[in-house]
Chain A
């Protein structure tokens, strides 16, 4: 069974600080990887995704993530966070064949202090 681990549950940063959120997954086959963001009071929306090719993926709002297959990791990064990045971030894995089942991590709450 596939699973996702997010190591940081709550992160507090000052504006302009750099961000890295960890994500590790467990699945034996080929996967597609995603980061979703949930702003306060809103539903989840896609931040970025990895399907194949370049393991460094760039998403919206200056976010990027690197897929390291040997480490089963897909960490999210941003060089300089803004107050508007305050949100909850979810890593997700999807098996690329079969039933298209998507599994989410437990989420990381990011609080950016002005």
Chain B
């Protein structure tokens, strides 16, 4: 049972380059999330998708776009990478609280460095 799978695990970009982080879950969850983790700042929500076909901004959406391709997949795109986007990115999924545990299941993380 793979759970939440993120690719790539490591990436180095130059300022201005674009890239897409891929995330897929096999737990049939409705909700999916993208977080970034920075030292001393915890996890900050970039975007989330409560269900297939919907996406909403989180705390730090600037510089990012997302696509909820289907129920399984939720991708995060950096159109023009900046050094401030150097971070570890985590994808997560969950079921709603009602009828589900509400627990977040995380991927292994993607470490992105922008030079």
Q: Which A residues form the contact surface with B (CB < 8 A)?
A: 6, 9, 32, 34, 36, 43-46, 49, 51, 90, 92, 94, 96, 99-107
Contact = CB atoms under 8 A, between A and B. Distances in A.
B106 interface: yes
B9 to A, nearest CB: 11
B56 A106 contact: no
Nearest to A102: B104
Nearest to B94: A100
Contacts, number: 66
B90 A44 contact: yes
Interface of B: 31, 33, 35, 40-45, 48, 50, 56, 58-59, 90, 92, 94, 96-98, 101-104, 106-109
A99 B102 contact: no
Contacts of B40: 9, 106
Given A99-B48, A100-B94, A107 B107 contact: no
Contacts of A49: 101-103
A102 B94 contact: yes
B97 A99 contact: no
25 contacts: A32-B97, A34-B102, A34-B104, A43-B90, A43-B108, A44-B43, A44-B90, A46-B104, A49-B103, A51-B97, A96-B97, A96-B98, A99-B56, A100-B31, A100-B94, A100-B102, A101-B45, A101-B56, A102-B92, A103-B59, A104-B35, A104-B43, A104-B44, A107-B42, A107-B43
A34 B42 CA distance: 14
Contacts of A102: 33, 45, 48, 92, 94, 104
Contacts of B106: 43-45
B103 A34 contact: yes
A49 B101 CA distance: 9
Contacts of B94: 100, 102
Contacts of A99: 48, 50, 56
Nearest to B44: A104
